[in-house]
Chain A
Amino acid sequence: MLPELGQILLLAALLLSLLLGTLPLWGAQRSNNALMSSARPLSYALLAAVVCSYALLTYAFEVHDFSVAYVAKNSNSLLPPLYQASAVWGAHEGSLLLWVMILCAWITAVALKSRALPQTVVARVLSVMGWIAFGFLAFTVFTSNPFERLLPAAIEGHDLNPLLQDPGLIFHPPLLYLGYVGFSVAFAFAIAALIDGRIDAQWIKWARPWTNAAWGFLTLGIALGSFWAYYELGWGGWWFWDPVENASFMPWLVGAALIHSQAVTEKRGSFSSWTLLLAIAAFSLSLLGTFLVRSGVLTSVHAFASDPERGMFILAFLCLVVGSSLTLFAWRTPKEFGKPFHWQSRESLLLINNLLLTAACAMVLLGTLYPLLAEALDMGKISVGPPYFGKLFLVLMAPVVLLIPFGPLSRWQSDSLGNVARVLMPWLVLAALVALVALFKAPQHPIKTALAFFSVFWITLGTLRFVWQRLRQAQSRFTAEMSGMILAHTGVAVFCFGALMAEALSTEKDVAAKPGQSFEIGAYRFLFQGVQELPGPNFVAQRGAIQVFDGERMLTTLYPEKRQYASGGSIMTEADMQGGISRDLYVALGEPLDANGGWALRLHVKPFIRWIWFGALMMALGAFLVMFDKRFKNRRPQ
């Protein structure tokens, strides 16, 4: 009975979102106050309906209601309680419901926080978001119903994909969706501005913290996903240029560009149509990501059950949303109202930043879709791998890294970049010297190592130079916006160092180990002690024990596992590692080799790899910090 109630609530939500999409929008066109003021109550009601429906699905998981097909496919009576709640978003239908719920939460947040804005703007923004909710609810109800019954009921569920039985999964999708869906706020603002035919700096100022929040969540979501892949998949890598990773990375790149261009538009009025276009692009790419993951067009480790009917539905929705917004953009882009600027100015630097980030996004898009293009043109099956992405990305990001310290130090409107360069010269020289030392000291891959040291020193010193300049000036104070920028830029430095060092200096060995045998990697010695069988809650594990020594001192004992899950019989590799600031020690269990306890082992030493995620965390926190700037405090309109 309860699943049917969830179903009914979902239908009610569909109806409510349709009303939210039409009534306030119509009211705004007709200047009808009653219709416009229906936007807020409709938003709240929509959230309530979706939350209740989501809660009922979670309840079905808690009570092991295997008469619900989705529960039977993705749960099992042995599943630990924690994963019963997270299994709700473990597959297509439930994760779609989570998507919709997060969208409704954003709608409600906008409704609550927008009292300072003109009523017509609020009505239009909420209506646009209502349309998006309608599209996704229709998708859920008509093609991917999570409440569908299984008759007769299964006596036991098929279990959650073991790959997803990890604490990383609990937060990875929700954070990612918070980011994806968060871009809908900037998108809705852009559409409202296009309908109205003018952009008000006040609206941009209002929309900025939302974009920052979305981008921060997306950063966290991607970083967590990357950490999860490193930790759980046992491949030892942290980024694979997998189509689905790319799908989340594209909105991230455009989002980063959008954050910067919104700042320019808010403060100087420049790039207003570019900002609108980026706002549309960021959300469109989020939708494209959803399409790529769920249509089965591209093959990926993340592949959800692919279904051409679903693919067609999202494609139609994508075309409708993106096509109509770009048509609107072509038709009604408002006139630029920005102040003119010299080519040597902060505006031009930010423009270059924007172009590079957008070009990087276009590059990722091309690489992701190229195999599809090749197949469509009958050029055979092609896969585009890390060499393409890695090289091009390095080429496009190198100038960004080089220019980061220039941005904050240069002035709006007009500046002499020569002067800024003179200020930064000593620090550039210092960074170059450090890089030179690294070049000769590196045990392997000297160029990458040198680049790692150069980027971390150059960005950090350049950013500190800006901090020093602020401190020296009499009116020195750091707004939250400025501190957030400093934190995020330093995060880029930390990230670059971690990524390049891990690329350059990682060492790994695949060995055939007998119990008692030891292996050396650099200064570390790995002593294999053997493998034991241990039972887990819903699996049986083969657990290896490997002692790691640094010289004579024992550092730790690592316990990598191979788990065989009771239901479905799938086998998962659980690597074990000891993390550290300067290196990770990482051991994964391969296959048993003989009857005498011999096993294949994979041993890694990965220097500075944790800096990758720490840097990403700093970027995200920086983006969040900016939201607390006093200028974004809600004030009633004058």
Chain B
Amino acid sequence: MIQRLLPLALFVGLAVLLFVGVRMNSGKDTSAIPSPLIGKPAPALALPVLPMPETRLAPADLGGKAYVLNVWGSWCVSCRIEHPVITELSGSGVLVVGYNYKDPAEDATAWLQKFGNPYALVIQDLDGQAALDWGIYGAPETFVIDAQGIVRYKHIGPLTREIIAADILPALKGAQ
């Protein structure tokens, strides 16, 4: 009988291990990956501005205002989901800069025309080179940068009203 129970006993051990594994994993929230940039100056790289690519804009040119940098692309499904939330945020008087990531200018413009442009201005990173400096994994991602140009906060994934209320607005308040 003991011999017959052996496979079951082994499996119980395995199941416990897997259970622990799943539990550990559920604690691991991927959006909680802290950015090494937090507390450091935002990358100084100047990027072309969307409607007029000849104009380049570096974060320092924003003239000492705190702002929210939102990474998006017309190809990005989740960006569609957070779009109304971004619109609300910029409607409430927050300076929201769009960071158009790996997106041809025509597509990006068409997207903004179709759904509305919530951004005070949009900078373009066509080949994703500058994204390396920012440590951008993909779209959507959102940064809060204070008046001194220091990165205060980063969120990976679509924004929700809850996240704005709980994290973005407090970060901005501290950033003025």
Closest to A281 in B: B7
Contacts A306-B25, A311-B26, A327-B8; A567 near B75 (Cβ below 8 A):
yes
Closest to B110 in A: A155
- The answer to whether A277 and B76 have CB atoms under 8 Å apart is no
Chain B: interface residue total (CB-CB under 8 A): 30
Chain A nearest CB from B149 CB (Å) reads 27
Say whether B32 faces chain A, with CB atoms less than 8 Å apart. no
Pick from B4, B15, B80: contact of A315, CB below 8 A: B15
By secondary structure, the A interface counts as: helix
Say whether B18 faces chain A, with CB atoms less than 8 Å apart. yes
Contacts A323-B11, A330-B1; A72 near B17 (Cβ below 8 A):
no
Say whether A400 faces chain B, with CB atoms less than 8 Å apart. no
| Chain B contacts for A157, CB-based, 8 A | 77
Residue-by-residue, is A303-321 near B (CB-CB < 8 Å gives 1, otherwise 0)? 0001010011001001100
- The answer to whether B11 and A322 have CB atoms under 8 Å apart is yes
Chain B nearest CB from A299 CB (Å) reads 10
Chain B nearest CB from A369 CB (Å) reads 6
Chain B nearest CB from A331 CB (Å) reads 8
Residue-by-residue, is B1-36 near A (CB-CB < 8 Å gives 1, otherwise 0)? 100110110011011011111101110000000000
| Chain A contacts for B173, CB-based, 8 A | none
The interface-forming segment of A289-297, A476-484, A609-617 is A289-297
Say whether A108 faces chain B, with CB atoms less than 8 Å apart. no
- The answer to whether B75 and A159 have CB atoms under 8 Å apart is yes
Q: How large is the interface on A (under 10, 10 to 19, 20 to 34, 35 or more residues)?
A: 35 or more
A372 and B16 CA atoms in complex are apart in Å by 12
A295 and B12 CA atoms in complex are apart in Å by 18
A369 and B127 CA atoms in complex are apart in Å by 39
A297 and B24 CA atoms in complex are apart in Å by 8
- The answer to whether B102 and A568 have CB atoms under 8 Å apart is yes
A545 and B114 CA atoms in complex are apart in Å by 43
- The answer to whether A277 and B15 have CB atoms under 8 Å apart is no
- The answer to whether B75 and A156 have CB atoms under 8 Å apart is yes
Chain B nearest CB from A571 CB (Å) reads 9
Say whether B128 faces chain A, with CB atoms less than 8 Å apart. yes
Say whether B124 faces chain A, with CB atoms less than 8 Å apart. no
- The answer to whether B4 and A330 have CB atoms under 8 Å apart is yes
A280 and B75 CA atoms in complex are apart in Å by 46
| Chain A contacts for B127, CB-based, 8 A | 569
| Chain B contacts for A284, CB-based, 8 A | 11
Say whether A149 faces chain B, with CB atoms less than 8 Å apart. no
A171 and B4 CA atoms in complex are apart in Å by 39
Contacts A308-B26, A318-B15; A158 near B8 (Cβ below 8 A):
no
Say whether A69 faces chain B, with CB atoms less than 8 Å apart. yes
Say whether B74 faces chain A, with CB atoms less than 8 Å apart. yes
| Chain A contacts for B4, CB-based, 8 A | 329-331, 333
Chain B nearest CB from A508 CB (Å) reads 28
The 5 closest A-B pairs by CB, nearest first: A308-B26, A569-B102, A326-B8, A297-B21, A311-B22
